[in-house]
Chain A
Amino acid sequence: MALSLPIRFGLRSKLLLLSTFLFSIPWFGYQYVWEMEKYLRYGQEQTLVGTARALATTLHDRPNLFNSHASFLPSVEQGRDLYGYQLKNPIRLDGQYRDWPNFTSRGHEYGQDHLLYQQKTSPSGEALTMAFKTTLGKYDKYLYLFFNVTDDKVVYRDKNMINLNRNDHLELAFVDQAGKFSRYLVSNKKPGWLDTYRITDLDNNIPVVTPQIQGQWLTTDQGYNIELRVPLSMVGDKIAFAVHDVDKEQGKVTHTVGSADPRFAKTLGTVLVPSPEIERIVRSMRYTNSSIWVVDQHHRVLATAGDIRQAAGVWHKKSAGSEDTSWWRGLEQKWLIPLYYMVLTRPPSDFIDQLYDASNLTGKHIVGALKGAATSQWRLTQDQQAVILSAAYPIFINNQVQGAVIVEETTNGIRTLRNRALEKLFSSILAIMLLGAVAFFLFASRISSRIRTLRNQAEQAIDEHGRIKQALPPSNTNDEIGDLSRSFTTAVNRLSQYNHYLENMSSRLSHELRTPIAVVRTSLENLSMQTMPESASAYIDRAQSGITRLNLILTNMSEATRIEQMLHTTDKMDFDFIQVLKGCVQGYQQIYPNISFDFTVSESLKTVNFLGSPEHIAQLLDKVVANAVEFTQDNQVKLAISEEKSQLVLTISNNGELLPQQMQERLFDSMVSVRSSKRQEQPHLGLGLYIARLICEFHQGKISASNHHEPDGVTVTISLPLSTKG
């Protein structure tokens, strides 16, 4: 019924195989945690939208927050309407843009498109040889400006020159908070600290040195850099600047490129610097662990709070876990956590997100919010390290969308939470699986060892001849294997009883038959004493010879059982094995005068001290020799004794009929005879060799018969272990 596999799977390996289903538990756990994360994300999204709405609510219908800025303009023009970045670090006025964050990407290029003036005298209209890149920033109470001017020829003011505009110079124009319009010129005689002059509203039209505007002029390979700062008090929300290019010493301005015409207040562009009022409101939200942006309708940032790198959401708990130094913690940190993070990913604390240029936030959610709908979106950071959740909520002023609140968080909090959950899950699953596997293994080992014990006991209980060697001890365990063991025990016991019955058959038979035979015999004998007619005595004689034969059979039968009984009570003694053997052979020579016995003792054996029963050894030899004599055809019986591996090996061989193949094993069993029927003048029950085997086994020896060839015959080999003291 079982499949015959080339490899044998034991019970233990099968159970182990089944126990691998334990490994599906971590998969289910993992799926569950993923599901949980999904809901957490959904919750985070709701929270985030809520935060955005809350913040937007505080900003609704407060037009004064937006008034001073260009937020109400219907449109803003890139380059003319400027945005002052909120700088996070102080700027060193050294003419280098190293300390400006992202200057190359944030700086706005001014060139042909922003040409304000071109010298008309030039017949061909000389090509523009100057361009510049500018960025604005706000730090503390100053507005910082940086100009990176590319100019093929830098012309400085002659040191004797009074005119300020006969050289390369920068013009700035502001309308301050009070609405006062001012123009300034930066016109240097040499690279270095700026020479700044105010040129509007002057009594005598003489420019006034303006030390409030400070900065550095630096000549570069391409042209020059101007880095300067203006106190915010001098700057309102209108600004313009222009760079005038002069290509000849004391020449006229050939080109002017700028953000807007700086000459009149009304032509100035706007500048937006992040609003302190809004910032104050927003900053109150910074404890929400979110990154918050407030933008106007032109996508320009009015205020920010929080850093996206720290904005891990409300789920993020800063508890690093109590610093216990238990072995478990050590084991977890040293082995388990690294193992888990081969599968898990740790949320990055340092990722790069440069999607937003503060001057112009983009994104569907912002567009959506500025159209009046609260939206949220998920996106990856640019380096694909983190997932950012953004929620945008519109700010209404007089039912008009004037801006939007954008709240951003990373999912790091959730991921940390998820990782924490997975770590715990893995740890417990690992423990469960380990315990489970060990338990399974022990269980399987126990069962298989019990079954193996049972198998060994069953194998040992019955020998190859089907005889019961020993009783099977019943198991006390109250389970199926115990039941099996007990069934085996019962079966073996019954078999043993049956065997016992069979083994005692001959003795009981002989005992039971003896009485009726005695009846017949005594009757016959009585009869023979009577005077009988002559014809009757012949019948009496025949009857008596029949009885004699029956008696012989009974005697043979009882001999076997008597031997068994006697061997139980026989004490072993030391005797000279060779001596006994020689005596026996001499005896056989007398008993069987026409058989020649050839007895060979191997040279190493002079005397052999053997522990056993010499009478029985002689009897054993009697039986085997009688057998050999009976079957010999050339009237020769060879006996040989030698010592092999501390075993006495005695062989008795005769030439004659071969043993049938299947009889070689069974020859020494009770009541087995291979005599052909014509030899049966004498009753023979096949007990002789059985007795021989009993005696052999009493001496812990073995007896076997095998055929030999050329000439054909049978060799009986008796091997007896020599006692250690021999």
Chain B
Amino acid sequence: MSKRIAIVEDEAAIRENYADVLRTQGYQVQTYENRETATAAFNLRLPHLVILDIGLEQEYDGGFTLCQWLRTLSKTLPIIFLTARDNDFDTVSGLRMGADDYLTKDISLPHLSARIAALFRRQDALDQPTQQEHMLVSGPLSIDSQRMTIAWQQQTVDLTVTEFWMVFALAKHPGHVKNRQQLMQDSKIYVDDSTITSHIKRIRKKFMRIDSEFDCIETVYGMGYRWNEPQQTGKEQTGAEES
């Protein structure tokens, strides 16, 4: 059974372009041009994934409203914001409302479909037992590349897909400096430098919510970022470090 994707987008040309691409990749795509029609449809049946624009016709924040409403219906429904609005405030608001990813319309269609695929994969992987070959464990950090989840000190860090790929890219080669360009490539987004900076900041904050002494992501000024192995010295962390 193919996955059903709903696109809520008021710009007909983009909507149809996205829909066409996704349909060719075998998804069932429903398109809605405003919140009313989308709400009516979602009330009948929820899709497997929703792509939302924020500004919907007259509603400046229609996408946000829709996102909040969808989250009340389902905790696990993957939601992607795909919007022209790229400022920090909107990004943060979108992610706070429980979206799994926040993409700007700069993203190319292959990247978009890769992300959608990844989200579905994560969704599917969550239902299956953890497979060790997809596990990358380094100190207190464990990454499940299948499920696209990251745990720090055995607690899940709630990352978006973009953030997951960034951490994954850094942690795969600890000690290596990844510049912003490389991070962008690895996380399949195309943004400017300061967006990368704010992504990194958000990631740090998410880790520090679990461990207030987290400082594994180091800024190498002028070059980029580096994942440092947590220091073994000092107070003993949990036993997970040795495992």
Contacts and interface: CB of A to CB of B under 8 A. Distances in A.
Interface of A: 507, 510-512, 514-515, 517-519, 521-523, 525-526, 529, 551, 554-556, 558-559, 561-563, 565-566, 569, 580-581, 583-588, 590-591, 614-615, 617-619, 621-622
27 contacts: A514-B104, A514-B105, A515-B11, A517-B105, A519-B13, A519-B14, A522-B13, A522-B18, A523-B13, A525-B21, A526-B17, A526-B20, A526-B21, A529-B24, A555-B192, A559-B194, A562-B192, A562-B195, A566-B198, A583-B220, A587-B223, A588-B222, A591-B223, A614-B219, A615-B197, A615-B219, A621-B221
Main secondary structure of the interface of B (DSSP, over half): mixed
B86 interface: yes
Given A507-B87, A615-B219, A621-B221, 7 more contacts: A511-B86, A518-B105, A526-B109, A555-B191, A562-B195, A587-B223, A614-B219
Contacts of A522: 13-14, 17-18, 21, 109
A565 B11 CA distance: 27
B108 A521 contact: yes
The 10 closest A-B pairs by CB, nearest first: A587-B222, A584-B222, A587-B223, A522-B17, A518-B105, A514-B84, A583-B221, A618-B221, A559-B192, A519-B13
B192 A518 contact: no
B57 interface: no
A565 B87 contact: yes
Given A529-B24, A614-B221, A618-B222, A562 B105 contact: no
Contacts of B191: 555
A319 B219 CA distance: 102
Contacts of A617: 221
Interface string B171-211: 00000000100000000001111110110000000000000
A520 to B, nearest CB: 9
Contacts of A587: 220-224
B197 to A, nearest CB: 5
A619 B196 CA distance: 12
A585 B87 contact: no
Contact of A511 (B85, B194, B195): B85
A515 B194 contact: no
Given A526-B21, A559-B194, A583-B223, A565 B109 contact: no
A71 to B, nearest CB: 128
Contact of B88 (A517, A566, A581): A566
Contact of A525 (B104, B110, B193): B110
Contact of A558 (B20, B86, B222): B86
Contacts of B198: 566
B106 interface: yes
Contact of B222 (A554, A559, A586): A586
Contacts of A581: 221
Contacts of A529: 21, 24
A583 B222 contact: yes
Contacts of B60: none
Contact of A566 (B24, B194, B219): B194
Contact of A584 (B21, B179, B197, B221): B221
B192 A558 contact: yes
A556 B84 contact: no
Interface of B: 11, 13-14, 17-18, 20-21, 24, 84-89, 104-106, 108-110, 179, 190-195, 197-198, 219-224
B147 to A, nearest CB: 29
Nearest to A525: B109
A554 B192 CA distance: 10
B17 to A, nearest CB: 4
Given A525-B109, A555-B191, A619-B194, A518 B222 contact: no
Nearest to A587: B222
A619 B197 CA distance: 10
A614 B85 CA distance: 27
B192 A556 contact: yes
Contact of B106 (A507, A551, A590, A621): A551
Nearest to B53: A515
Contacts of A566: 88, 194, 198
Contact of A518 (B84, B85, B110, B195): B84
Contacts of B87: 507, 558, 561-562, 565
A525 B108 contact: yes
B84 A515 contact: yes
Given A511-B84, A514-B105, A580-B221, A619 B14 contact: no
Contacts of B85: 511
B220 A565 contact: no
A617 B197 CA distance: 13
Given A526-B17, A583-B222, A586-B222, A562 B11 contact: no
Nearest to B12: A519
A207 B221 CA distance: 156
B216 to A, nearest CB: 17
Contacts of A555: 106, 190-192
A518 B14 contact: yes
A554 B86 CA distance: 11
B112 to A, nearest CB: 9
B63 to A, nearest CB: 14
Contacts of B223: 583, 586-587, 590-591
Nearest to B109: A525
Contacts of B224: 587
A584 B179 CA distance: 12
A584 B104 CA distance: 29
Nearest to A515: B84
B133 to A, nearest CB: 32
Contacts of B190: 551, 555
Nearest to B108: A525
A591 B177 CA distance: 12
B20 A559 contact: no
Contacts of B13: 519, 522-523
B222 A621 contact: yes
Contacts of A551: 106, 190
A208 B105 CA distance: 164
B33 to A, nearest CB: 14
A622 B219 CA distance: 14
Nearest to A625: B222
Contacts of B21: 522, 525-526, 529
B82 to A, nearest CB: 9
B188 to A, nearest CB: 14
B87 to A, nearest CB: 6
Contacts of A525: 17, 21, 108-110
A569 B195 CA distance: 14
A231 B193 CA distance: 141
The residue among A517, A519, A562, A566 with the most chain B CB atoms within 10 A of its own CB is A562
B170 to A, nearest CB: 16
